[in-house]
A and B are shown apart, each in its own frame.
Chain A
């Protein structure tokens, strides 16, 4: 039975292409945002999609078969007459894990708001508005989760307590900013973001038993 090297595998090629596209998107979002129009990110994504499709098509037409299954004990004469291509063990967990980590998780996260089409906050008021909206969203989600009995009363009370603290910090940050101390105000915003992130993690791991 013939084998193909792991780097000729369509699965690997497509995943690598997707990772490269995400990398280009991240570089675009990180370094050249503002220098070119906001449509550059969308065009990059579109180009990446087309590139991935083309590579997939080429690999398919090149004759590399992703997986060929042969039934044990089948007609061996015919099986020998038709050479099969088998992937030579490219599906190594570490390689796939690395590709997944790069293409699916890390790079889109690094792209952040740009990948979602959200405007990047550039001023204190904009960062304040985003943080306030996240506080509100968590309150709303906690209420809905409580009403649908996905979390318990204690979890909801914890969410209310932490979101109230976040709101107090936000109000305080705004007052400090208006008083002319932007550094402290920004520090408070960062603190709010950390509290809200911790609360999200907490809620994500909770469920009513």
Chain B
């Protein structure tokens, strides 16, 4: 495994752990109040996912433009 692969693997692991931690905190709070996660608590997760999808799409478009400019 190259250094680049390791960097990417670590980035991925940290990202996954951080997001899972956020969800875990919500679950813990809900359990403390004796209930399940509500739709209102799921909405920010959906919004964040939509935002990240849009940002990834934009990054792809920018990269394509940069590649086109460089050739």
The number of inter-chain residue pairs (CB within 8 angstroms) is 129
B16: which A residues are within 8 A, CB to CB? 134, 137-138, 141, 200
Structural contact, A118 and B12, CB atoms closer than 8 A: no
A105 CA / B47 CA spacing, docked (Å): 35
Would B12 and A132 count as touching, CB distance under 8 A?
no
Q: In the complex the two chains form, is B55's CB within 8 Å of A137's CB?
A: no
Q: Is the interface of A mostly helix, strand, loop or mixed?
A: helix
User: Which residues does chain B contribute within 8 Å of A163, judged by CB atoms?
Assistant: 53, 56
Contact residue range for chain B? Answer: 35 or more
Q: Are A133 and B20 in contact (CB under 8 A)?
A: yes
How many whole Å from B54's CB to the nearest CB in chain A?
9
For B28, list chain A residues within 8 Å (CB). Answer: 119
Given contacts A118-B20, A141-B12, A204-B8, contact A128 B42 (CB under 8 A): yes
Q: Which of B2, B7, B19 contacts A133 (CB 8 A)?
A: B19
- A40 adjacent to chain B (CB < 8 Å): no
CB distance from A174 to the nearest CB of B (A): 9
- Assembly CA distance A142 to B55 (angstroms): 10
Shortest beta-carbon distance from A11 to chain B in Å: 25
Q: Are the CB atoms of B56 and A143 closer together than 8 Å?
A: yes
Smallest distance from the beta carbon of A188 to chain B beta carbons, Å? 16
Partner of B17, one of A116, A146, A206: A116
Q: Is B12 in contact with A123, judged by CB distance below 8 angstroms? A: no
Q: Would you call A140 and B15 a contact (CB within 8 A)?
A: yes
With A142-B56, A156-B60 as contacts: A207 and B18 at CB distance below 8 Å: no
Neighbouring A residues of B18 by C-beta, 8 Å:
137
| B53 touching A133, Cβ below 8 Å | no
B4 near A: Cβ within 8 Å?
Answer: yes
In contact, A118 and B21 (Cβ under 8 angstroms): yes
In the complex, chain A residues 106-147 whose Cβ is within 8 Å of any chain B Cβ: 113, 116-119, 121, 123, 125-126, 128-130, 132-147
Partner of B24, one of A118, A142, A167: A118
A151 interfacial contact with B, CB 8 Å: yes
In the complex, residue of chain B having the shortest beta-carbon distance to the beta carbon of A200:
B12
The answer to whether A133 touches B45 (Cβ under 8 A) is yes
CB distance from B37 to the nearest CB of A (A): 4
**What are 6 A-B residue pairs whose CB atoms fall within 8 Å in the complex?**
A113-B20, A119-B24, A126-B36, A139-B52, A140-B15, A146-B60
